[in-house]
Amino acid sequence: MRPPPRTATGQRRYGPDEAAHVRAIRELLALGLTVQALRGIADRIQLLVDDPQRRCALADAASPASGVVERRLAAIDAEIDRLGRLRDRLAQRTGQA
């Protein structure tokens, strides 16, 4: 984001565009993307600001943004698998299998 303009007293003045940008970033962080991952796709965040219902499909496989969502989904799937195995082991140990 560009530095916001300042008032005569030096306070930053944020407008609706900046607020929308921050909301988009917060949503992506809440989905588990990292700040580092967002830096790699910073040029695409404005697309979500302009159209919040936009799908996140990436057409250009050579883009730095390519794979960010796919890696996050793979990490979530791996964690689900790990937790499923952990649950099964615990259930077996306690006779609740």
> How would you write the pLDDT of the chain (97 residues) with one tens digit per residue?
778 889 999 999 999 989 999 999 999 999 999 999 999 888 888 888 888 777 665 555 555 566 888 888 899 999 999 999 999 999 999 988 7
Listed in sequence order, the residues at least 6 apart from 64 whose beta carbon sits closer than 8 Å to its beta carbon are 40, 41
Residue 22, classed as helix, strand or coil, is helix
Both structure tokens of 82: 């790990």
Closest CA to 68 of 18, 29, 97: 29
Give residue 64's pLDDT: 57
Give residue 11's pLDDT: 94
Give this prediction's pTM. 0.69
Give residue 69's pLDDT: 84
Give residue 57's pLDDT: 58
* Distance (Å, whole) CA 13 – CA 6: 5
Contact 18, 58 (CB under 8 A): no
